[in-house]
Amino acid sequence: MLSGRDFLSMDDLTAEEIRAVLERSGDLKRRLHAGESPPVLAGKTLAMIFEKPSLRTRVTFEVGMRQLGGHAIYLSPQDIQLGTRESTPDVARNLSRWVNGVMARTFAHRTVQDLAEYATVPVINGLSDREHPCQILGDLLTIQDHARRLNGVRVAWVGDGNNVCHSLLLGGAKVGIHLAVATPPGYEPANEIISRARSLAAKSGGSISVGHDPNEAVRGVDIIYTDVWVSMGQEATRAERLKAFAGFLVDGALLRAAGPQAKVMHCLPAHRGEEITDEVLDGPQSIVLDQAENRLHAQKGLLAMIL
């Protein structure tokens, strides 16, 4: 179904394909917990290009490839120097002669698109400035595990309209989630992503709202999702961001405004005390470590289907 395909955006998969990947991921998760690791990628290699740091993405792709009988190669920013030491098309063409797939974490989204254009093997977006689709694939597995469904689940995004928010908008809209986004003025998600998500939600039975009031967004939701206010690459704008995001802290008061049913999600790494308090991040409503674990299972499902 997905063999040979790139995965650069949540919009690259149909709702049916998302469900198929989640089903495969859930199966691999159950088997792993039962001590089974089917070597479906025996002899296959994934090259992993990183222009930015990572804990979860690097470890889960590497462990995932290993558990499926394959192998992953980590290429640091110093190794490749995309576009400086060698052009992105040349890197893509060379890697395609040796490996079965490429995962890349980049600054510009254009860079993963260029890799995909020139590589003859599948390219997976491991986070770009525009999207983080692997995160949302894992998160949909987490939401499904906790809510027993995806369709109709109510999620509030509180904070920056960033890459993770973009992938949640697209992926959530496809599977029928009701998503309320609350950002400070000027930090909304990109307009074209909001419009695309709205048209997808109209078909799936989900809904999308974008506003500026965290208290209103979280009322009665199943899930509150937040992320850092300063993403990788935005460090120079830190001071103005901290000022703009005052009032968007996910703390005990916001959680109480949501209600006792609300679970808390964060893609991590967290800046504790900045966008989220320790009390909430480590509290009984937090499911952030399930999210981190599910990155492994979701990406294994994806890799098993596309490589």
Site of interaction with ligand CP (CB under 6 A): 54-57, 127, 135, 267-269
Q: Please, are residues 212 and 183 in contact by the beta-carbon 8 Å criterion? A: yes
From CA 216, how far away is CA 153, in angstroms rounded?
17
Of 30, 5, 282, 244, the residue nearest 133 (C-alpha)? 5
Task: Tell me whether residue 78 is one of the annotated catalytic residues.
Answer: no
15 contacts ligand NVA (rule: CB under 6 A)? no
From CA 95, how far away is CA 154, in angstroms rounded?
42
183 contacts ligand NVA (rule: CB under 6 A)? no
Task: Tell me whether residue 227 is one of the annotated catalytic residues.
Answer: yes
- Residue 55 binding target from ligand CP, ligand NVA, none, CB below 5 to 8 Å by type: ligand CP
Count of H-run helices and E-run strands, the chain:
13, 9
Min dist. Cβ of residue 265 to ligand CP (A): 11
**Encoded amino acid at 109, one letter:** H
One of 144, 162, 183, 291 touching ligand NVA (CB under 6 A) = 162
Q: Please, are residues 159 and 227 in contact by the beta-carbon 8 Å criterion? A: yes
Task: Tell me whether residue 31 is one of the annotated catalytic residues.
Answer: no
- Residue 163 binding target from ligand NVA, ligand CP, none, CB below 5 to 8 Å by type: ligand NVA
Binding mask 119-158 for ligand NVA (x = CB under 6 A): --------x-------------------------------
Task: Tell me whether residue 144 is one of the annotated catalytic residues.
Answer: no
- Residues in Cβ contact with 71 at an 8 Å cutoff, skipping those fewer than 6 apart: 44, 45, 46, 65
Judged on CB neighbours under 10 Å (0-12, 13-18, 19+), 181 is buried
Binding mask 239-268 for ligand NVA (x = CB under 6 A): ----------------------------x-
Task: Tell me whether residue 135 is one of the annotated catalytic residues.
Answer: yes
Residues taking part in catalysis: 105, 132, 135, 227, 267, 295
Residues that bind ligand NVA (CB under 6 A): 127, 162-164, 227-228, 231-232, 267
